[in-house]
Every structure is written in C-alpha cells, then in structure tokens.
C-alpha cells in the first residue's frame, strides 16, 4: 500500500481488511483519513457493510422461519433409511 | 397401530432422549429427527444449491450420513449444530459432483475505475436505512434471491465465510483454495451482492 497517494481503487480493495481491523495501524489510519474526505469511498464502505448485515439477516433461520420440508421428501428419507443397511455394510 | 398404544407423553422431550432413541435404532426417533429438522436444514441446502432437486438430494444424503454416524455423536455439540454441518458438507459434495454450468464473469458486478484510480460514476448512500431493511421480510427475501444470483464459486465462499461463519483457513481447506483466494473471492462476492442490491436500496 502506498501511504502517500492512496487511490479510491486501492481503498476499495482493502475494505474487508479495514472492517476486520486486520490492517497495520498506520494503514488503518491512512484508510480512515481517506474515508473522512472522500464521500464516494465512505458511501461505498457503508453500503458494503450494510450488504454484510443484510446477507446475515436474510439467511438467519430464526428471522426467516423456513417452511417444513415437503412430505414426499421426508417420506423418501425415512424410506431410504429402512433400505440403508442392505446397501451400506455396518462400519463395525 | 402400535404408535397408538405408546404413552401419550412425548418420549423425546430433551435432545438427550432423542439422541438415545436414535442410537438405539428407534424408528420413531428417526422420524422425529427428520420431521423436526428437515425444514431448516433444507433451507441451508437451498442456499448452496439453487436447483431444488439438488438441495433435496443433498438433504437426503445428509440425513443418511447422519443416521450412519449417529453412534459417534457424543453430545459435545448440539444435535442441530452437528446436523447443520453435515448438511453443509453434503451440499458442498453435491456442488462438486454435479455438472457445473459455465459461470458468468463477476467483473460486470464490480465497481469500475478510471486510469487514475477514481471511480467511474458516483456512489450514493443507500436511501433505505439498515434497520428498516433488516426488519423487512420482503427485502430479506430479495437478498436471498440476489445471493442465489451470484456466480457459484463466489456464492459458496460468501455462504461459508459470512453465513456459516467458517474461518478463512477452514473455507480454503474445504474448497481446496488458498487462503488468499478465499479472501479475494469473499470480497468480490460481497461487492457483487452490493451491486445487485443497489437498485433496490437507493430508493425511488
Ligand atoms: Zn476515495
């Protein structure tokens, strides 16, 4: 990372590490200074971070109680178990 | 008819009772397990496998694998956590073995820059606040749809890292990638998802 002249393109590349606080302190500072002065990068960072939060919320089973599996599938699984021992020898 | 003669009390109130039933080969325990867990586990498989039949196959593979190894379940983790991991593994296996469609390049979904490193076009702040978005069922559904639209090799990394909370190293191992490649793909996947959400989040 070139500390003196950090382009927006470079800022974009290090966003994941920046959010994880995984950059060396001086690089973290350079990023912060740039973000304070560059609305484009700041908005991108905010939207990127919100994308992460939304992704988690969208895939959270507690927030999105899944419907029951189709009965046909449940029955197929139970049926397959009954037939299982013939196909798969016990591991003992 | 035998089931009618069982005491009305639920024989599997606790997880330990259910595990004991499974380990002793009680068919009622297996049925209970499948009925109680298949909905949420199918939701997990569907995130990895966008074809419904693939997701259902992975769920079936996962349960059969769980039935075979239930004797080795020691209760160090919760049954749901253990099953969840088995479904993720079965889904990854299905992804590996199934005929792979050529992927759309992700570049179209990444921000573009001019020669001097400045962004082409500007980046407005999203108009919808994050609290509103998170609590909106339709937006959450939209996000799931957009995750499903990501190219498969990027979607898988996003799901393992951000949703399944696997470490970079663990993800690299199961996908046979370098940790560096996992980091790059995760960042690109998040960027692409952001691009796909932009038109819906920038308001009317
Ligand atoms: Zn900038």
B155 interfacial to chain A (CB closer than 8 Å): no
ipTM for the predicted complex comes to: 0.89
* pLDDT, position A36: 93
Contacts of B118 in chain A (CB under 8 A): 7-9
Q: What is the rounded average pLDDT of the residues B73-101?
A: 90
CA distance A18 to chain B (A): 12
Burial class (CB in 10 A: 0-12, 13-18, 19+), A91: exposed
Q: Give dist(CA B69, CA B146) in Å, integer.
A: 35
User: Which of A37, A81, A28 has its CA nearest to residue B34?
Assistant: A81
Number of Cβ within a 10 Å radius of residue B153? 17
Q: Which two tokens stand for residue A52?
A: 């992460």
In a domain, A88, yes or no: no
In a domain, A91, yes or no: no
Kindly list the distances between the CA atom of residue B23 and the CA atoms of B18, B30, B67, B78, in Å, as whole numbers in the listed order: 9, 10, 9, 15
In a domain, A92, yes or no: no
In a domain, A90, yes or no: no
| Per-residue confidence band for B161, with pLDDT thresholds at 50, 70 and 90 | very high
Q: What is the rounded average pLDDT of the residues B5-26?
A: 84
Say if residues B43 and A66 touch (Cβ distance below 8 Å): yes
In a domain, A15, yes or no: yes
DSSP B12-78: --SHHHHHHHHHTT-HHHHHHHHHHHHHHHHHHHHHH--SHHHHHHHHHHHHHHHHHHGGG--SSS-
Structural domain of A37: 8-83
Nearest to B113 among A9, A54, A81 (CB): A9
Would you call A81 and B42 a contact, using CB atoms and an 8 Å cutoff?
no
Residues of chain B with CATH 1.10.10.10: 107-202
In a domain, A55, yes or no: yes
Q: What is the rounded average pLDDT of the residues B10-32?
A: 92
Q: Which two tokens stand for residue B34?
A: 């499948």
Q: What is the rounded average pLDDT of the residues B104-124?
A: 88
**What total number of domains does chain A contain?**
1
Residues of chain B with CATH 1.10.1740.10: 15-97
Cα separation of the two ends of chain A: 57
* Mean pLDDT estimate for chain B: 92
Choose the weakest-confidence range: A5-14, B114-123, B173-182.
B114-123
Q: What is the rounded average pLDDT of the residues A28-55?
A: 95
Enter the pTM of the model. Answer: 0.90
* pLDDT, position B8: 62
B42 interfacial to chain A (CB closer than 8 Å): yes
CATH of B15-97 among 3.30.1240.10, 1.20.58.340, 3.40.640.10, 1.10.1740.10: 1.10.1740.10
In a domain, A52, yes or no: yes
CA distance A35 to chain B (A): 13
Q: What is the rounded average pLDDT of the residues B22-40?
A: 95
CATH 2.40.340.10 fits B107-202, yes or no: no
* pLDDT, position A90: 47
CA nearest to A9 within chain B: B117
| Per-residue confidence band for B1, with pLDDT thresholds at 50, 70 and 90 | very low
* pLDDT, position A87: 46
Instruction: Tally A–B CB contacts below 8 A.
Output: 141
Q: Which two tokens stand for residue B11?
A: 């024989």
Helix, coil or strand: residue B196:
helix
Q: What is the rounded average pLDDT of the residues B57-83?
A: 93
Say if residues B173 and B161 touch (Cβ distance below 8 Å): no
- pLDDT tens per residue, range A62-86: 999 999 999 999 999 999 998 865 4
| % chain A with pLDDT above 70 | 85
């Amino acid at each position: 990372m070139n500390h003196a002249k950090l382009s927006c393109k470079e800022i974009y590349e290090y966003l994941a590490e920046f959010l994880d606080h995984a950059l060396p302190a001086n690089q973290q500072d350079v990023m912060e200074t740039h973000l304070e002065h560059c609305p484009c990068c700041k908005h991108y960072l905010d939207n990127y971070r919100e994308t992460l939060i939304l992704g988690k919320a969208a895939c959270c089973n507690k927030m999105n109680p899944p419907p029951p599996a189709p009965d046909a599938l449940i029955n197929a699984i139970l049926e397959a178990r009954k037939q299982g021992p013939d196909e798969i020898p016990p591991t003992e | 008819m035998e089931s009618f003669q069982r005491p009305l009390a639920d024989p599997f109130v606790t997880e330990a009772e259910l595990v004991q039933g499974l380990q002793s080969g009680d068919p009622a325990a297996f049925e209970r397990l499948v009925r109680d867990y298949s909905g949420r586990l199918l939701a997990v498989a569907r995130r990895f496998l966008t074809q419904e039949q693939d997701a259902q196959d992975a769920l079936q593979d996962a349960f059969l694998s769980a039935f075979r190894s239930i004797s080795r379940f020691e209760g160090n983790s919760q049954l749901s956590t253990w099953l969840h991991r088995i479904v993720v593994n079965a889904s990854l296996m299905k992804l590996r073995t199934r005929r792979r469609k050529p992927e759309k390049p992700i570049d179209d979904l990444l921000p573009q820059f001019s020669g001097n490193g400045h962004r082409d076009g500007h980046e407005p702040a999203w108009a919808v606040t994050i609290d509103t978005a998170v609590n909106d069922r339709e937006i959450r559904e939209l996000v799931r749809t957009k995750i499903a639209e990501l190219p498969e090799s990027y979607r898988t990394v996003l799901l393992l890292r951000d949703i399944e909370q696997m470490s970079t190293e663990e993800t690299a191992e199961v996908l046979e990638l370098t940790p560096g490649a996992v980091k790059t793909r995760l960042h690109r996947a998040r960027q692409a998802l952001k691009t796909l959400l932009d038109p819906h989040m920038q308001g009317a």
